[in-house]
Amino acid sequence: MCGTDGCLVKCSSVPCATPENDMKDTSTTINLDHGDPTMYESYWRKMGNKCDITFNGDDSLSYFANGKSLCWFLESKLEEQIKRLHSVVENAIVDDYYIVVGTGSSQLMQAALYALSPTDQLEPISVVSATPFYSSYPEVTDFVKSGLHKWAGDARTFEKNGPFIEFITSPNNPDGVVREPVVNGNQGKLIYDLAYYWPQYTAITSPANHDVMLFTISKCTGHAGSRIGWALVKDKEVARKMTKFMEISTIGVSKEAQLRAAKILEVISERCLDPNMENFFEYSQSLMTDRWQRLRQVVMANGLFVLQKYPLQYCLFTKDFCESHPAFAWLICKGGEEEDCEKLLKEHKIHTRSGRRFGSDSRSVRISMLSRGEDFNIFLQRLMAIQVPTNGN
């Protein structure tokens, strides 16, 4: 809605949310390849106008933000709400850290690689991650064919002497396992991708306290389209170089997106602190728990697949023991090495991402658990219907 006073931007302007028990046309292919977090529509629709913010015509004219951050385009309201939410959830230390905002965590990955790569080496620094690793790491590392860094594959088999950069995704994408560094070496620089270190996915066992930590609103709140991510960086020079990367590539990050993200984070923090309000993380954890329970029931009844198991851990946020319910299911076919799980599911109109994309093999696939309820229900029905061909067929 636009008027003489300004333009109203509503975070509740999303397609109609569908209840978990609804169904739709079953002739279409269900796309569970991407982690598109449309599952969260139901919660944010219930919030109505609580996330509304207004922009006047003379807002956001300057490149520069109104704060005093080293990251000169970081809006002070977003900086404040990032620190507040981490303190409420207890999933990361924020004191004495620099915050660098980016257009999603993907841009921050590139910025971190740039900032951590030495400029005085004769060859690019090796970048590794333990398999199964996030499928975008190889492409992000090598896309512009930089002379600074080069993808070197599985961290478990990396034995090259000298400096290296290791990505640690924890909980891991695609299998949801809590990760630690793998490479033994004193010249390593570590980037912790903590996109899924939120209470709806895993127990918050301790506040993360690493040199470089990446987060994104996409998987925290579900607002992937806003394209906001942030890095918590301990070293000032690394933060400065990351900020320079943003400056050269996009001259900052949209102020409107930052302020919308700040409002969303504010609403979440307020509802976490008020026991009379519906807590976003408790709501989301309930949805994820239900989906994982139903998926495990189908997998057990079907007998053709295997799912990752997760231990009970005490969560600082919920003050209780809980099991992980990752954003992705790492599904493995029980057959031999020749099995192609992606192909099998595709024949039943379920589009997934092959384990080969994650440095693993074709027996495994990654399946998004964040789709709308109607798609998730059809997925379970189709998975249950898959049968082992008989010898006569």
pTM for the model stands at 0.91
Q: State residue 303 phi and psi, 5-degree precision.
A: 80, 5
Cα gap 343→354, rounded to integer Å: 9
Mean pLDDT confidence for 239-250: 97
Q: Could you tell me which residues come within 8 angstroms of residue 346 by beta carbon, excluding any fewer than 6 positions away?
A: 29, 352
Region for residue 301 given its phi and psi (left: phi exceeds 0; alpha: psi -120 to 50; beta: otherwise): alpha
The span from the CA of 167 to the CA of 137, in Å, is: 8
Are 164 and 128 a contacting pair, CB within 8 Å? yes
CA-based angle 31:51:370, to the nearest 5?
20
Query: Lowest mean pLDDT: which of 3-12, 39-48, 160-169, 345-354?
Result: 3-12
pLDDT confidence of 170, banded at 50, 70, 90? very high
| 342: β partners | none
In this model, does residue 15 exceed pLDDT 70?
A: no
Would you give the DSSP letter of residue 184? -
Name the token pair of 139. Answer: 């492409």
In 3D space, the residue among 116, 171, 120, 113 whose CA is nearest the CA of residue 137 turns out to be 113
For residue 74, give both structure tokens: 């970081």
Residues 6+ apart with CB under 8 A from 94: 82, 83, 86, 87, 232
- Give CA–CA dist 370/367, Å, rounded: 9
pLDDT in tens, 60-79: 889 999 778 999 999 999 99
DSSP for 224-245, please give it. Answer: GGG--EEEEES-HHHHHHHHHH
Strand partners, 365: 331, 354
Say how many residues make up the chain: 393
In the block, which residue shows the tokens 């739709």? Answer: 24
| Tokens representing residue 387 in the block | 């049968």
**Residue in the structure block whose two tokens are 């005085």:** 120
As given in the structure block, the two tokens for residue 186 are: 């004193």
Cross-strand pairs, 378: none
Whether residue 273 contacts residue 88, with contact meaning beta carbons closer than 8 Å, is answered with yes
Identify the band that residue 6 occupies on the pLDDT scale cut at 50, 70 and 90: very low
Read off the pLDDT of residues 112-132 as tens digits, 9 standing for 90 and up: 999 999 988 889 999 999 999
Token pair 């031999």 in the structure block, residue:
336
315 pLDDT tier (thresholds 50, 70, 90) = very high
Type of residue found at 325: H
Share of the chain above pLDDT 90, in %: 84
| CA atoms within 13 A of residue 144's CA, in its CB half-sphere | 10
Q: Does the pLDDT at position 241 exceed 50?
A: yes
